[in-house]
């Protein structure tokens, strides 16, 4: 029963765009990698990264000259980084951050298959690239996990005590809990975020739509409750699972959060709160 349920949960979790939205080729003039099939952006590096599970993933690094912090973005289950490129660029500009986004194994031009354990290795490879290639310190990194991306995000965040902050966007309590209202964690479940969130030492912002018909808003609310260092959450009134970026309060609230954690490794007084925010902000 457990193996069957785990297989169902895994099938629920991963829907890589087919065909991928982009290609990758070597620029003959520079020798650097570039994306094809999408509008090219300035200040974007394309890199291939080897993971410890022997897959090779593709990542984008969006540079902002005025950035003091860097966001590592784990996207949702039905997108690849070609589709996310415009959002990555906008977030980098509006939040004044460098931003790395990566494709999970089996997504886009990344090799292998998407599995829970592969995504953990994928985010580790992206994180190590930020540190070793770009010289970014752990304490200057904000992890951002959207939907299924909350899984690798919280797995890594639970093991990094000096992270600057974490953003959870329409997050899941666990894979099984999306499908069934189970009251305890089973060994065959995937992305056991409910058990990892209390281990996160840095400020946590949760963003969730009140009308999410894929991952109920109760998932975000429970993860927020279990966070050690809570930041005023954003419950987007009327927001669904894939449209939160289109609400003006989304970027407004993110800016406020980045500004707050940017002052120091912790929230300023008054930012850790039990109140909630919604689209009437």
pLDDT tens per residue across span 37-61: 999 898 999 999 999 999 999 999 9
Domain count, the chain: 1
What does the alpha-carbon distance between residue 40 and residue 9 come to, in Å, rounded to a whole number? 36
CA 82 to chain centre: 15
> How do residues 55-73 score in pLDDT, each as one tens digit?
999 999 999 999 999 999 9
pLDDT at 186: 84
CB atoms within 10 A of CB 273: 12
Residue 267 domain flag? no
pLDDT at 264: 62
Residue 198 domain flag? yes
By mean pLDDT, which of 64-78, 144-158, 165-179, 253-267 is the weakest?
253-267
pLDDT at 10: 59
Tell me the average pLDDT across 12-21.
90
Single out the residue of 83, 85, 88, 106 nearest to residue 98, CA to CA: 88
Single out the residue of 155, 164, 264, 148 nearest to residue 205, CA to CA: 164
Q: Compute the chain's Rg from CA coordinates.
A: 18
pLDDT at 279: 43
- The answer to whether 53 and 105 are in contact (CB under 8 A) is yes
> How do residues 89-127 score in pLDDT, each as one tens digit?
999 999 999 999 999 999 999 999 999 999 999 999 999
Could you tell me what percentage of the chain is helix, strand and coil, using 3-state DSSP and rounding each to the nearest 5? 35, 20, 45
pLDDT at 22: 98
By mean pLDDT, which of 68-72, 77-81, 172-176 is the weakest?
172-176
Single out the residue of 262, 202, 264, 211 nearest to residue 235, CA to CA: 211
Is 268 a residue whose pLDDT tops 50?
no
Residue 107 domain flag? yes
Residue 270 domain flag? no
Single out the residue of 240, 234, 239, 228 nearest to residue 267, CA to CA: 228
CA 53 to chain centre: 20
Residue 273 domain flag? no
Residue 82 domain flag? yes
Q: Which residues are catalytic?
A: 147, 212, 241
What does the alpha-carbon distance between residue 58 and residue 110 come to, in Å, rounded to a whole number? 5
What does the alpha-carbon distance between residue 116 and residue 132 come to, in Å, rounded to a whole number? 25
Residues 6+ apart with CB under 8 A from 39: 85, 86
> How do residues 240-266 score in pLDDT, each as one tens digit?
999 999 999 999 999 999 999 998 655
Residue 279 domain flag? no
Q: Over the chain, what is the mean pLDDT?
A: 91
What does the alpha-carbon distance between residue 267 and residue 270 come to, in Å, rounded to a whole number? 8
Instruction: Identify the CATH number of the domain in which residue 61 sits.
Output: 3.40.50.1820
Q: Three-state SS for 198? A: helix
124: part of which helix (H) or strand (E)? Answer: helix 116-132
Name the residue range of residue 229's domain. Answer: 2-262
Q: Report the first-to-last Cα separation within the chain, whole angstroms.
A: 46
Q: Is residue 9 very low, low, confident or very high in pLDDT (cuts 50, 70, 90)?
A: low
Give the strand pairing for 141-146 and 98-102: unpaired
Q: Is residue 194 very low, low, confident or very high in pLDDT (cuts 50, 70, 90)?
A: very high
pLDDT at 276: 43
Residue 267 DSSP label:
P
Q: Is residue 1 very low, low, confident or very high in pLDDT (cuts 50, 70, 90)?
A: very low
pLDDT at 206: 98
pLDDT at 267: 53
């Amino acid at each position: 029963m457990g193996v069957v349920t785990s297989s169902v949960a895994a099938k629920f979790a991963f829907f890589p765009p087919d065909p991928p939205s982009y290609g990758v080729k070597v620029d003959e003039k520079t020798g650097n990698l570039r994306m094809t099939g999408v509008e090219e952006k300035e200040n974007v590096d394309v890199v291939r990264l080897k993971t410890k599970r022997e897959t090779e993933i593709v990542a984008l690094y969006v540079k902002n000259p005025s950035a003091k912090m860097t966001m590592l973005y784990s996207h949702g289950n039905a997108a690849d980084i070609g589709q996310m490129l415009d959002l990555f660029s906008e977030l980098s500009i509006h939040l004044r951050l460098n931003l790395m986004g990566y494709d999970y194994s089996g997504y886009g031009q990344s090799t292998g298959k998407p599995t829970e354990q592969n995504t953990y290795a994928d985010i580790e490879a992206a994180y190590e690239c930020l540190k070793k290639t770009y010289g970014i310190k752990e304490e200057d990194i904000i992890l951002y996990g959207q939907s299924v991306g909350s899984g690798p995000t919280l797995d890594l965040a639970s093991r990094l005590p000096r992270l600057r902050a974490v953003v959870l966007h329409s997050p899941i309590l666990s894979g099984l809990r999306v499908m069934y209202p189970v009251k305890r964690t089973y060994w065959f479940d995937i992305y056991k975020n409910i058990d990892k969130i209390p281990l996160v030492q840095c400020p946590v912002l949760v963003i969730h739509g009140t009308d999410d018909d894929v991952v109920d808003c109760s998932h975000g609310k429970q993860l927020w409750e279990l966070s050690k260092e809570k930041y005023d959450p954003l419950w987007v009134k009327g927001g669904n699972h894939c449209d939160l970026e289109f609400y003006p309060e989304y970027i407004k609230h993110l800016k406020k959060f980045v500004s707050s954690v940017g002052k120091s490794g912790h929230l300023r007084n008054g930012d850790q709160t039990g109140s909630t925010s919604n689209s009437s902000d």
